[in-house]
C-alpha cells in the first residue's frame, strides 16, 4: 500500500506544474543575491568605476581590513559584586513554574543562565505539555518593544505610589456614590488570586469581576453548567478512548487547551492499542490531519451531523436535517456503540446547544473518556457578561473599569461600542503587560510582570495545582496583579507571603512548601462529583436547528498553531513558525476549497523562486466586511466553507515586521467561531505568501515516508515480499537481490565504542504541533529571517515539519476495491486533492553515517564524529554550499546575511533585551556559513561532562535534545543506541523503524517509525 502512494506537497505539484518540476532540481531556489550590491546590468554599464578602480578599491580595503584585524579590541569582564549563592556562572539553573496567560496553561521547567531565563520545557513529572507558544513565551519576556515599562497616567509617567493613591481615592469615591465598577480579566485559574479578588470586592462591594476570553468557550461552559451545575470545562482522557468522533473540534490544536498528549498516548500501534478517530470538519485542522478518517463537513452540516448522531445513538428523534454524509454517521454511530464507554464525541462549535448535544451523547454512551468531575479551569470567559458590560458602559450603568491583560479593542467584535463605552467612564485603569491599543485608551496604564517574573498558582484542572515562581527580577518597573490588588485592598502583606500562607492553609495539607515549589506542582485527590440534570434535548435541538442557518458560504474561524489568540503576535519565533498545514508563515489567509476556488476564480500560482502568490478577497459576514484577505486554496477544505485564523492583523505597538495578516476578530460575533451568511468577492492584486511548502520538493522520491494500517502492523510481516508494509530497499549486488542496507560504497566505521546517538521519530505520534521547531530556535540560537526571506526560501529552521498530502485512492482498482462506483468513483479519481490524507514528517539533519555532505566539502568543515553526530565547524566553513547541494534531505541552511546586529533583520538578535534569550553555549553564526541541526551536541556533551564529573556512567534515557524534550506526545525519542537500556536502542530495532530514502545508502542516525492509521471501523 505504502509503495503505491504518491505524496505531494502542493496542488501545483500534483498537477505536474513545470515550475515545480524545475524547482525540484535546485537546492537553493535563489541565486546569490548579487543584485543587492551590484545593481542591474544597466547601472553596471553606466557606472564610471573602471576595472582598474575596482582593483584599487579591493586592494585598499583588503589592506585596511588586515591592518584593522591586527589590533584586537579590549574586552571588559564584569563579575558580580555580590554573587548570589545559587548561581555558578556558566552553569544552568532550572526552575519549575507554571504558564498561565489566559490562553495557554502548562506546567513547565525554565532554564536560566546567570539569572536569565532562556528556555521553557514541559515539566514532564507534572505531565506538563507545551505547545509552540509556551515554548516561545520566554522571548516575549524580553519584548522591550511591546512591554510596558513604567506606570503612566494619560501621556505622562506616574509613580506607582501616586497611582495607588489616586486610584484608591477614586475607588472610594465610586464606592461612596455606589457607582458600579468592573474588574475585567482573562481566565486566571488561580485559587489565591480568586481569594484576593474576593477580598478586594469585599472592600469595594460596587466592583464586579467579569472574565473575558478573547477566544471563549462560553458555549461549552454554559452547556456544562446547564447539565452539571458547574461552570467549567469537562476534561477528556483520550488515552482511554476506543473511538473518537469530533465535529470540528481541533483538540490537537487549541480547542479547550489541546489534548495532544493524551491523544498520542491512546495511539500506540506497537502495543496494539490504538483509538479510531473520525473527524467531521470544514477547515483542514491539525486534528483532521491526524484523524484516521476525515470527512469534509461545512459547519452547518456538522451541526446536523451531530444531531443525527444523537438520534442514531439514543434512538431519539430530535429535529435535524439530512447531510451528505448520513451514511458515515450511521457507521460512526455503530462504532461508538460498539466501543461503549470507550467512545467519545466532541464538538468544536462555540454554541451552548451544540455542546449540550455532545454532552448528551457522551452521557448516553456513559463515556469514560470525558471526565465531568475533574473539570478544567482554563476557560472561564463569559460572553454574555462581556456583552452586558459593553452595553452598561454605554448606558452609563458602569462607571469604572479596571482591566488586566485584555485587549478588547483588538479582540472584541464590537470594538467600536467598547471604545465609546470607555470614553464615558469616570475611572479606567489598564493593568497590562503589553502596551496595546486598549490600554492606551485608559486613564491609567500600569505595567504588569511577565509570568517568568511573578509568583502565582494555577489550578489547571481540579486537583492539579501548579505553582508559578519568578525566574528573573522584573526587567521593568512592573508589579504583579495580586500585589496591586492587595495594596488597593489595604492589605500590606506581600503576595509571596500571602500565597505561602494560602497554600499551607488551603492546599498543601501539611506537605512541604519548599518541596512543592521545587516540583512546581501539587496533586490532590478531588472527591467532589457532579450529577447530570435532565434537559429536554428536543427543545435544545429545535433551538439549535433554528440558529443554524446554512448558507452558500460559511466561515469557520480558527486559531493558528503559531499565534493562537494573538497575544504573542510580536514574537518573531512564532511569526516565523510555518502553519503545520499550509506551511505558510507570517500570514493569515482565507482558506478556500478547490471547488469554490475554481468557481470564484482563486488560485495560488507558484513563482519561479519557489514562492506562491494568492488573490485577495473581500469577505462580508452579517454586514461586516474585511477587505483584501489573501486567499489560500486548501486541499481538504469542505466545499461551501472558508476558514480564517484569528490572532493576526495586530498593529498597535508591534514592530512593523510583525504587522502581518488581517484582524479576523470583527467576524467573531457573539464569540462564535462559526458564522453563516458569508459572501466572498474577488478583488484585484496578488498577495505574496511566505510559504515553504513548494520550496523543498521531494523530486519524485515517494518512498520518503511509509504508512501502514493497524491491521497490517499487528498481523502482517513487515518485510514480506508481497504484502510487507515496511519493506527494505532491495538492490542488485553481484547479480543477487540483497537488502540495500547491506551494500556499501564506503568502509563501515566501528560504532560500538562510546556513545552512538540516534533520534527516533514516530510518525504516528507526531501531531505536527511545532513545539519542537520553536524549542530548536531557542536552544540553538536559530535566527529569524523575516517574511521576505522565508518567501524566497532562505528560512533558517534547523528542524522543519514537512507536511505531505496523499490520496487514499490512486488507481481505479483501489477505488473499486473500496466499493466505490459511478459518480463517487469518478469524483475520487478526478480530484484527489478534495480530501487528501495528511502525514507530518519532522525533518532535520539525518546525521548520516555515510554523509554525502562530508565528502564534498572542500575545506573539511563538516565531518563525522564517533558519537554519530555530523559536525559542522562554522569557523572553517567558507560557504561553497556544495554540502547543501549534495544533501538528499535538504536540511542544510545557509546564512545569506548576518542575522544578528543587523538593522535589516530587526528581530531579537538586534536588540539588547532580545539577545538575553540567546543560549551562551551555542555560537551565533555569521554571514556566509552553512549551518544545520547539530543533534544538540552542546546538550549531549553537557550530559557526558556531568557524568564524568560524578565519575559514573550515563544513565539510560538521560541524553536529550531540545526537540525530544519539547515533544509532549513522545514522538521524538533521543538516546544512545550503545546503551541497550535506552529506549531508542529498542526503537531502532522496532519493526516499524525505517530510514528516509534508505535507498540512497546514507545510513542516517535519525530513524523514523512507520505512520499507522487505524482503519478498523470497529
Partner 1 sequence: MKDTKTIVCNMKSVALHHRLTTVLLKSFTILLLLSINFSAQAQDIDEARQKEGKKIFKSLCAACHKLDKKLVGPALGKIEERRENDWLKSWIKDNAAFRKSGDADANAIFDEYGGASMTAFPQLTDTDIDNILYYTTVGEIKKATANNAGGEAPVKKEAPKWLIYILAAAIITAFLIIISLLKVIGELKGAPENEGGLSNLSGIWKAINENTFLKVLGVIFGLLVSAYFTFGTLFQVGVDQGYQPIQPISFSHKIHAGDNKIDCQYCHSSAKHSKTSGIPSVNVCMNCHKNISEVAEDTKIELDGVTYGKDYLDKEIKKVYNAVGWDEETLKYTGEIKPVKWIRVHNLQDFVYYNHSQHVTVAGLKCQKCHGPVEEMDEVYQYSPLTMGWCIDCHKATKVDLKGNDYYKKIHEQLSKKYGVDKVTIAQLGGKECGKCHY
At its nearest, how many Å lie between partner 1 and the CB of residue 945? Answer: 6
| Cα gap 91→77, rounded to integer Å | 17
> Strand, coil or helix: what is 624?
strand
| Residue 951 lies near partner 1 (rule: CB under 8 A) | yes
| Cα gap 533→994, rounded to integer Å | 52
- Angle, alpha carbons 495-496-502 (nearest 5°): 80
Category of 16 on φ-ψ map: left (φ > 0), alpha (ψ -120 to 50) or beta: left
| Residue 76 lies near partner 1 (rule: CB under 8 A) | yes
Q: Which stretch binds partner 1 (CB under 8 A): 226-234, 611-619, 647-655, 939-947?
A: 939-947
At its nearest, how many Å lie between partner 1 and the CB of residue 577? Answer: 24
How many other C-beta atoms are found inside a 10 Å radius of the C-beta of residue 483? 22
Q: By CB under 8 A, name the one of 871, 886, 902, 1015 that touches partner 1.
A: 871
Q: By CB under 8 A, name the one of 32, 159, 945, 1018 that touches partner 1.
A: 945
| Residue 753 lies near partner 1 (rule: CB under 8 A) | yes
* Beta carbon nearer to partner 1, 532 or 945: 945
| Residue 69 lies near partner 1 (rule: CB under 8 A) | yes
Q: By CB under 8 A, name the one of 866, 904, 981, 989 that touches partner 1.
A: 866
| Residue 473 lies near partner 1 (rule: CB under 8 A) | no
At its nearest, how many Å lie between partner 1 and the CB of residue 862? Answer: 8
At its nearest, how many Å lie between partner 1 and the CB of residue 68? Answer: 10
Task: Using CB atoms within 10 Å of the CB of residue 199, give its burial: 0 to 12 exposed, 13 to 18 middle, 19+ buried.
Answer: middle
* Beta carbon nearer to partner 1, 727 or 850: 850
At its nearest, how many Å lie between partner 1 and the CB of residue 989? Answer: 21
| Residue 865 lies near partner 1 (rule: CB under 8 A) | yes
Phi, psi (deg, nearest 5) at residue 998: -70, -15
Q: Which residues pair with 591 in a beta bridge?
A: 632, 643
- Among candidates 691, 659, 661, which has minimal Cα distance to 585? 691
| Residue 89 lies near partner 1 (rule: CB under 8 A) | yes
Q: By CB under 8 A, name the one of 158, 201, 714, 947 that touches partner 1.
A: 947
Q: By CB under 8 A, name the one of 83, 515, 549, 682 that touches partner 1.
A: 83
At its nearest, how many Å lie between partner 1 and the CB of residue 857? Answer: 11
* Beta carbon nearer to partner 1, 409 or 861: 861
At its nearest, how many Å lie between partner 1 and the CB of residue 113? Answer: 11
Contact 374, 523 (CB under 8 A): no
| Cα gap 449→453, rounded to integer Å | 6
| Cα gap 682→597, rounded to integer Å | 10
* Beta carbon nearer to partner 1, 379 or 756: 756
| Residue 88 lies near partner 1 (rule: CB under 8 A) | yes
Q: How far is CA 840 from CA 283, 409, 480, 971, in A?
A: 17, 37, 41, 11
- Among candidates 960, 971, 897, 909, which has minimal Cα distance to 778? 909
| Residue 62 lies near partner 1 (rule: CB under 8 A) | no
| Residue 863 lies near partner 1 (rule: CB under 8 A) | yes
| Cα gap 137→135, rounded to integer Å | 6
Q: Which stretch binds partner 1 (CB under 8 A): 76-84, 467-475, 590-598, 729-737?
A: 76-84
* Beta carbon nearer to partner 1, 491 or 880: 880
Q: By CB under 8 A, name the one of 80, 94, 733, 826 that touches partner 1.
A: 80
| Cα gap 356→342, rounded to integer Å | 19
| Residue 747 lies near partner 1 (rule: CB under 8 A) | no
| Residue 750 lies near partner 1 (rule: CB under 8 A) | yes
How many other C-beta atoms are found inside a 10 Å radius of the C-beta of residue 338? 14
At its nearest, how many Å lie between partner 1 and the CB of residue 954? Answer: 7
Q: How far is CA 166 from CA 152, 169, 429, 489, 505, in A?
A: 12, 5, 11, 14, 34
| Residue 954 lies near partner 1 (rule: CB under 8 A) | yes
Long-range contacts of 812-819 (CB under 8 A, 24+ apart): 814/4
At its nearest, how many Å lie between partner 1 and the CB of residue 876? Answer: 7
| Cα gap 471→452, rounded to integer Å | 6
- Among candidates 255, 289, 269, 131, which has minimal Cα distance to 840? 289
Q: Site size for partner 1, by CB under 8 A? A: 52
- Please tell me the number of Cα atoms within 13 Å of 419 on its side-chain side: 12
Q: How far is CA 287 from CA 7, 104, 129, 771, in A?
A: 20, 18, 17, 16
| Residue 980 lies near partner 1 (rule: CB under 8 A) | no
* Beta carbon nearer to partner 1, 295 or 872: 872
At its nearest, how many Å lie between partner 1 and the CB of residue 963? Answer: 16
| Residue 941 lies near partner 1 (rule: CB under 8 A) | yes
Q: By CB under 8 A, name the one of 31, 46, 65, 79 that touches partner 1.
A: 79
- Please tell me the number of Cα atoms within 13 Å of 723 on its side-chain side: 8
| Residue 854 lies near partner 1 (rule: CB under 8 A) | no
| Residue 948 lies near partner 1 (rule: CB under 8 A) | yes
* Beta carbon nearer to partner 1, 79 or 510: 79
Q: Which stretch binds partner 1 (CB under 8 A): 67-75, 475-483, 645-653, 701-709?
A: 67-75
At its nearest, how many Å lie between partner 1 and the CB of residue 879? Answer: 15
* Beta carbon nearer to partner 1, 135 or 940: 940
* Beta carbon nearer to partner 1, 51 or 949: 949
Q: By CB under 8 A, name the one of 34, 875, 912, 980 that touches partner 1.
A: 875
| Cα gap 244→278, rounded to integer Å | 6
Q: Which stretch binds partner 1 (CB under 8 A): 87-95, 340-348, 415-423, 567-575?
A: 87-95
| Residue 549 lies near partner 1 (rule: CB under 8 A) | no
| Residue 65 lies near partner 1 (rule: CB under 8 A) | no
Pattern 908-937, binding to partner 1, x per CB under 8 A? -------------xxxx---------x--x
Q: Mapped to the 3 state alphabet, what secondary structure does 330-396 carry?
A: HHHHHHHHHHHHHEEEEECCCCHHHHHHHHHHHHHHCCCCEEEEEEECCCCCCHHHHHHHHHHHHHC
- Could you please report the per-residue DSSP string of 95-140? EEEEEESSS-EEEEEEEEETTEEEEEEE-GGGT----HHHHHHHHH
| Residue 90 lies near partner 1 (rule: CB under 8 A) | yes
| Residue 1005 lies near partner 1 (rule: CB under 8 A) | no
* Beta carbon nearer to partner 1, 482 or 867: 867
Contact 698, 689 (CB under 8 A): no
How many other C-beta atoms are found inside a 10 Å radius of the C-beta of residue 273? 13
* Beta carbon nearer to partner 1, 763 or 872: 872
Contact 490, 203 (CB under 8 A): yes
| Residue 64 lies near partner 1 (rule: CB under 8 A) | no
Q: Which stretch binds partner 1 (CB under 8 A): 85-93, 115-123, 405-413, 800-808?
A: 85-93
Contacting residues for 735 by C-beta, under 8 A, at least 6 apart = none
* Beta carbon nearer to partner 1, 75 or 721: 75
At its nearest, how many Å lie between partner 1 and the CB of residue 777? Answer: 16
Q: How far is CA 378 from CA 98, 211, 217, 256, 703, in A?
A: 13, 12, 10, 8, 42
| Residue 72 lies near partner 1 (rule: CB under 8 A) | yes
Q: Which residues bind to partner 1, rule: CB under 8 A? A: 66, 69-70, 72, 74-83, 88-91, 750, 752-754, 861, 863, 865-867, 869, 871-876, 921-924, 934, 937-938, 941, 944-945, 947-954
Amino acid at each position: 500500500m505504502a509503495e503505491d502512494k504518491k505524496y505531494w506537497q502542493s496542488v501545483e505539484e500534483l498537477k505536474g506544474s513545470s515550475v515545480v518540476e524545475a524547482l525540484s532540481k535546485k537546492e537553493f531556489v535563489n541565486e546569490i543575491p548579487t543584485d543587492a550590491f551590484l545593481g542591474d546590468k544597466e547601472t553596471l554599464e553606466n557606472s564610471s568605476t573602471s576595472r582598474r578602480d575596482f582593483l584599487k578599491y579591493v586592494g585598499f580595503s583588503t589592506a585596511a581590513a588586515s591592518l584593522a584585524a591586527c589590533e584586537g579590541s579590549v574586552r571588559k569582564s564584569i563579575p558580580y559584586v555580590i554573587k548570589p549563592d545559587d548561581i555558578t556562572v556558566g552553569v544552568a539553573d532550572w526552575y519549575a513554574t507554571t504558564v498561565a496567560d489566559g490562553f495557554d496553561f502548562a506546567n513547565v521547567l525554565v532554564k536560566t543562565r546567570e539569572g536569565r531565563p532562556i528556555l521553557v520545557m514541559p515539566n514532564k513529572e507534572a505531565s506538563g505539555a507545551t505547545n509552540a507558544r509556551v515554548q516561545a513565551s520566554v522571548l516575549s519576556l524580553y519584548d522591550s518593544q511591546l512591554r510596558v515599562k513604567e506606570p503612566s497616567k494619560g501621556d505622562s509617567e506616574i509613580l506607582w505610589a501616586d497611582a495607588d493613591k489616586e486610584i484608591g481615592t477614586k475607588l472610594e469615591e465610586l464606592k461612596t456614590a455606589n457607582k458600579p465598577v468592573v474588574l475585567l480579566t482573562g481566565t486566571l485559574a488561580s485559587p489565591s488570586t480568586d481569594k484576593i479578588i474576593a477580598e478586594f470586592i469585599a472592600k469595594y462591594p460596587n466592583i464586579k469581576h467579569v472574565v473575558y476570553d478573547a477566544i471563549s468557550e462560553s458555549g461549552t461552559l454554559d452547556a456544562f453548567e446547564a447539565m452539571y451545575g458547574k461552570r467549567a470545562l469537562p476534561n477528556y482522557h483520550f488515552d482511554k478512548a476506543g473511538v473518537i468522533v469530533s465535529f470540528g473540534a481541533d483538540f490537537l490544536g487549541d480547542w479547550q487547551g489541546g489534548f495532544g498528549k493524551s491523544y498520542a498516548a491512546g495511539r500506540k500501534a506497537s502495543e496494539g492499542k490504538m483509538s479510531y478517530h473520525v473527524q467531521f470538519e470544514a477547515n483542514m485542522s491539525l486534528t483532521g490531519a491526524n484523524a484516521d478518517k476525515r470527512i469534509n463537513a461545512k459547519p452547518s452540516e456538522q451541526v446536523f451531523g451531530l444531531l443525527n448522531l444523537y438520534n442514531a445513538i439514543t434512538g431519539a428523534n430530535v429535529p435535524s436535517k439530512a447531510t451528505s454524509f448520513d451514511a458515515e454517521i450511521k457507521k460512526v454511530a455503530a462504532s461508538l456503540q460498539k466501543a461503549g464507554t470507550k467512545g467519545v464525541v466532541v464538538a468544536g462549535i462555540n454554541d451552548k446547544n451544540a455542546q449540550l448535544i455532545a454532552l448528551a451523547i457522551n452521557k448516553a454512551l456513559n463515556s469514560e473518556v470525558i471526565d465531568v468531575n475533574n473539570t478544567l479551569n482554563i476557560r472561564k470567559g463569559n460572553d454574555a457578561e462581556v456583552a452586558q458590560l459593553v452595553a452598561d458602559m454605554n448606558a452609563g450603568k458602569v462607571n469604572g473599569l479596571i482591566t488586566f491583560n485584555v485587549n478588547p479593542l483588538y479582540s472584541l467584535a464590537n470594538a467600536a461600542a467598547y471604545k465609546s463605552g470607555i470614553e464615558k467612564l469616570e475611572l479606567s485603569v489598564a493593568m497590562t503587560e503589553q502596551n496595546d491599543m486598549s490600554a492606551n485608551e485608559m486613564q491609567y496604564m500600569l505595567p504588569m510582570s511577565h509570568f517568568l517574573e511573578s509568583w502565582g498558582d494555577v489550578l489547571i484542572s481540579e486537583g492539579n495545582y501548579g505553582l508559578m515562581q519568578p525566574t528573573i527580577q522584573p526587567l521593568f518597573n512592573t508589579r504583579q496583579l495580586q500585589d496591586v490588588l492587595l495594596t488597593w485592598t489595604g492589605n500590606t502583606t506581600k503576595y509571596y507571603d500571602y500565597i505561602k500562607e494560602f497554600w499551607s492553609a488551603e492546599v498543601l495539607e501539611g506537605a512541604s512548601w519548599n518541596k512543592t515549589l521545587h516540583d512546581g506542582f501539587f496533586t490532590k485527590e478531588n472527591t467532589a462529583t457532579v450529577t447530570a440534570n435532565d434537559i429536554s434535548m428536543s427543545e435544545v435541538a429545535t433551538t439549535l436547528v433554528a440558529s443554524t442557518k446554512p448558507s452558500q458560504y460559511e466561515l469557520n474561524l480558527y486559531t493558528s498553531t503559531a499565534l493562537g489568540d494573538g497575544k504573542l503576535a510580536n514574537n518573531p519565533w512564532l511569526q516565523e513558525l510555518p502553519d503545520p498545514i499550509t506551511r505558510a508563515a507570517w500570514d493569515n489567509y482565507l482558506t478556500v476549497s478547490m471547488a469554490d476556488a475554481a468557481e470564484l476564480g482563486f488560485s495560488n500560482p507558484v513563482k519561479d523562486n519557489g514562492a506562491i502568490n494568492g488573490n485577495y478577497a473581500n469577505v462580508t459576514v452579517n454586514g461586516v466586511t474585511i477587505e483584501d484577505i489573501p486567499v489560500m486554496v486548501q486541499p481538504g477544505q469542505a466545499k461551501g466553507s472558508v476558514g480564517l485564523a484569528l490572532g493576526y492583523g495586530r498593529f498597535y505597538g508591534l514592530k512593523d515586521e510583525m504587522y502581518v495578516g488581517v484582524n479576523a476578530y470583527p467576524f467573531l460575533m457573539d464569540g462564535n467561531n462559526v458564522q453563516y451568511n458569508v459572501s466572498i468577492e474577488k478583488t484585484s492584486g496578488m498577495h505574496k505568501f511566505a510559504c515553504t511548502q513548494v520550496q523543498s520538493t521531494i523530486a519524485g522520491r515517494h518512498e520518503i515516508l511509509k504508512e501502514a494500517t493497524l491491521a497490517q502492523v499487528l498481523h502482517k510481516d513487515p518485510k514480506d515480499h508481497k504484502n510487507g508494509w515496511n519493506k527494505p530497499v532491495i538492490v542488485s549486488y553481484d547479480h543477487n537481490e540483497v537488502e540495500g542496507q547491506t551494500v556499501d560504497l564506503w568502509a563501515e566505521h566501528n560504532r560500538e565504542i562510546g556513545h552512538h546517538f540516534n533520534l527516533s521519530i514516530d510518525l504516528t505520534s507526531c501531531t505536527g504541533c511545532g513545539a519542537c521547531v520553536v524549542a530548536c530556535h531557542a536552544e540553538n540560537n536559530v535566527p529569524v529571517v523575516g517574511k521576505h526571506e522565508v518567501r524566497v526560501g532562505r528560512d533558517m529552521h534547523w528542524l522543519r515539519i514537512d507536511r505531505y498530502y496523499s490520496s487514499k485512492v490512486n488507481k481505479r482498482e483501489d477505488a473499486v476495491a473500496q466499493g466505490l462506483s459511478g459518480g463517487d468513483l469518478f469524483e475520487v479519481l478526478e480530484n484527489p486533492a478534495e480530501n487528501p490524507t495528511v502525514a507530518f514528517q519532522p525533518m532535520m539533519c539525518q546525521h548520516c553515517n555515510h554523509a554525502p555532505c562530508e565528502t564534498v566539502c572542500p575545506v573539511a568543515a563538516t565531518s563525522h564524529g564517533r558519537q554519530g553526530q555530523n559536525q559542522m565547524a562554522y569557523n572553517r566553513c567558507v560557504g561553497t554550499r556544495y554540502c547543501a547541494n549534495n544533501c538528499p534531505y535538504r536540511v542544510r541552511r545557509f546564512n545569506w546575511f548576518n542575522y544578528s546586529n543587523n538593522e535589516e533583520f530587526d528581530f531579537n538578535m538586534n536588540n539588547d533585551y532580545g539577545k538575553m534569550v540567546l543560549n551562551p553555549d551555542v555560537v551565533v553564526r555569521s554571514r556566509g556559513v552553512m549551518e544545520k541541526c547539530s543533534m544538540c551536541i552542546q546538550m549531549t556533551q553537557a550530559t557526558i561532562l556531568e557524568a564524568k564529573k560524578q565519575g559514573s556512567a550515563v544513565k539510560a534515557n538521560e541524553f536529550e535534545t531540545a526537540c525530544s524534550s519539547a515533544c509532549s506526545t513522545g514522538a521524538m525519542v533521543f538516546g544512545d543506541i550503545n546503551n541497550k537500556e535506552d529506549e531508542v536502542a529498542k526503537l531502532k530495532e522496532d519493526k516499524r523503524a525505517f530510514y528516509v530514502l534508505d535507498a540512497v545508502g546514507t545510513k542516517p542516525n535519525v530513524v523514523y517509525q512507520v505512520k499507522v492509521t487505524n482503519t478498523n471501523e470497529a
